[in-house]
Amino acid sequence: MAEALQTMQDLSGKVAGIVGSARVFTAGDLLDKYSANEGCSQTGRPDIVAQVSSREQVQALVRLANECGVPVVPRSSVTGFYGGSVPEQGGIVIDMSGMKKILRIDPKNRWALFEPGVTYGELQAELNAKGMTALLPLAPHPDKSVITSCLEREPKLMPKHHLDETILTMELVLPTGGFFHTGSMAVSQEPPEKVQAAAHTDLCNFMGPGLDWFRLLPGSLGAYGIVTAMNVKIAVKPTMQKLIFFGFKNLQDAVEPWYHLLHKLIGDECLLLNSRYLALLLAKEPGDISRLQAGLPPYTIILNLTAGEHRPEEKMAYLEKAVQDAARIFQLQPMESLPHAQDAAAALQAILSKPWDDGGAYWKWRGRGASREVFFLTQLQRAPEFLRELQSAAAGSGYPISDMGLYLQPKQNGRAFYMEAGFSFSPDDPAEKARAEQVQGEASRGLVDKGAFFYRVYGPWTELVYGRTGNLQKTLKRIKHTLDPNNILNPGKLGF
């Protein structure tokens, strides 16, 4: 430690010198908020929270942290889910949720450049006004930062291969405190929004320099660098769309037809929900959930057929014919509405195009107030096997299977599937909470044993997953050591 830290007061004074004293918090309820996330039990109290408003402040704080040997935990979303921004070793939480500038939108090259505090709702409003759309996960929390969502690799509703990796260039503050530009942003050291004026680049090359940062940063939970600006791919807003539903009694029955639809490149947004999750999304009132759930097919594939600016009717016609052909091959009944939810198509179209903005509880928490989740990637052919594992973990813990939500999201036209199970519970009932957490733990262990691929690694999964991956964690640690010799950025998160 270069300069021994005298007191908390010293440090908070220095932090205040950077962000202003009104933006520094060292005690009280506010710190509680930063000590936990909604979707996990992990807690960890920061010593200081600094609410920053500029890239320069982020950099100055990281430099200060290096001088003092104090951990720094970056945070961009107001509401966190899985503990990524809960401090493991105290230190300074850098809250970037106030950095809300959308710096540039380039409709021609189809990207938007913005700061970490920008949410999907804020971005989508700007994009829609320009005839464009953000690439959304399924009904994200209204507070969710787009940058965090990309860095956490939340699955996107759009399973097209070229829209799977959406990060283009980034500005980072490296763990040692220097600004660093990735991809073609690297040709100028001006602030991101000024790079295009200073250089001949449209910020479209995401690779390099030195490392492929657009891949190393996501999944690192802030351990390799803090992103202060990012441009991501956006898409042209469709001019026509039509939702089609396929209902299934068993998940196994969905496998072959779904592969077919995806390999034939039919439609855009595409996902499967079980009746529980679908009811949570569609119910007008929380009181309707059970009734709705009982009437819905156990599993529903939701497929959005879309057309753009060119001959939209003709495109819809060939897509609808392709759907009919698939239905004939697999003897399915495509539906334009759902039993007991006649307006499901219109309601879902709205839900799929924006963050959750119901005003009430977040949709995953609507059932009982809170939930624990298990999520991983799989090949579709193995999904039924993993579903059985989830169900047996639920049964083994006495968790009602009918309360378990299920979401499957294809990636890259079906090359892989994100699979998520949600176990809701009442947060006021400790026994219910314990049971949900028990299912989460049991299911995770069973799934990992069977080969479910836990690609996002949080909290208790760290040991479970990395423990089996040979030298992977050690290699990640060696990279960390090179980039962050003082172990300043979010220490402990990757298990080191």
Partner 1 sequence: MAFTEMAYKALQDIVGSENVSNDPAICQAYSRVQWLPSGVLQRERCGLAMRPACVVMPGSTQEVQRILQVANRYTFPFVPRGSGFTFSAFPTLAGTIVIDPKRMDRIIELNEKDMYAVIEPYVSFVGLQAEAMKCGLYTPTPLAGSQVSCLANYSWHGAYGNSWITGIGAQNLLGFELVLPDGEVVRSGSMACPGAGSFWNDGPGPDLRGFLRSGMFGHAGGMGVVTKISCKLWPYAGPAEFPAEGTANMKFSSSLGENWKWYMIKFPLKYPEQEEQELRKSAELFYEMGRAEIGEVATHLAQQFLYTYSSVTKQDLFDNMKNDVFPSGFCVVALQGKTSPDQLAYEDRVLHDIVKKVGGIFVKEDEPAYQVWIKRAANEWIRFGNAQRLSRASDCFSIGSSNVDSIDQIVYEILESNKVGRDLLKNEGLGKDFVQPLSMNGGWISPQEYGYWCLHTTDVFPEQAVDQCNQAIEIIGKVTKSQFERRSAAAAIHMIGPAYDLFGPMMGDVHLIVKGLKREFDPGNLSNPGYATRPDVVTPEELAKMMGH
Interface of this chain with partner 1, residues 232 to 251, rule: CB under 8 A: 233, 236
Report 36-65 residues binding partner 1 (CB under 8 A): none
Q: Which is nearer to partner 1, 370 or 457 (CB)?
A: 457
Q: Which is nearer to partner 1, 339 or 441 (CB)?
A: 441
Do 112 and 127 form a contact (C-beta atoms < 8 A)?
Answer: yes
Taking the C-alpha atoms of residue 10 and residue 48, their distance in angstroms, rounded to an integer, is: 12
Interface with partner 1 (CB under 8 A), residue total: 100
Taking the C-alpha atoms of residue 230 and residue 207, their distance in angstroms, rounded to an integer, is: 13
Taking the C-alpha atoms of residue 232 and residue 210, their distance in angstroms, rounded to an integer, is: 20
Supply the minimum distance, in Å, between the C-beta of residue 489 and partner 1: 13
Report 299-358 residues binding partner 1 (CB under 8 A): 308-311, 314-315, 317-319, 321-322, 325
Supply the minimum distance, in Å, between the C-beta of residue 483 and partner 1: 7
Supply the minimum distance, in Å, between the C-beta of residue 210 and partner 1: 4
CA angle 422, 427, 430 (to 5 degrees): 105
DSSP per residue, 294-338: HHS-SEEEEEEEEE-SS-HHHHHHHHHHHHHHHHHHHT---BSSB
Binding segment toward partner 1, per CB under 8 A, in 61-69, 176-184, 344-352, 392-400? 176-184
Look up residue 346 and give its two tokens: 């219109």
Do 55 and 11 form a contact (C-beta atoms < 8 A)?
Answer: no
**Peptide linkage before 400 cis (omega within 30 of 0):** no
Report 99-138 residues binding partner 1 (CB under 8 A): 108-111
Report 407-466 residues binding partner 1 (CB under 8 A): 412-416, 448-457, 465-466
Binding segment toward partner 1, per CB under 8 A, in 26-34, 216-224, 297-305, 330-338? 216-224
Pick the binder of partner 1 from 218, 334, 339, 427 (CB under 8 A): 218
Taking the C-alpha atoms of residue 83 and residue 248, their distance in angstroms, rounded to an integer, is: 35
377 contacts partner 1 (rule: CB under 8 A): yes
16 contacts partner 1 (rule: CB under 8 A): no
Supply the minimum distance, in Å, between the C-beta of residue 40 and partner 1: 17
Taking the C-alpha atoms of residue 353 and residue 491, their distance in angstroms, rounded to an integer, is: 36
194 contacts partner 1 (rule: CB under 8 A): no
Report 137-166 residues binding partner 1 (CB under 8 A): 153, 161-162, 165
Do 58 and 94 form a contact (C-beta atoms < 8 A)?
Answer: yes
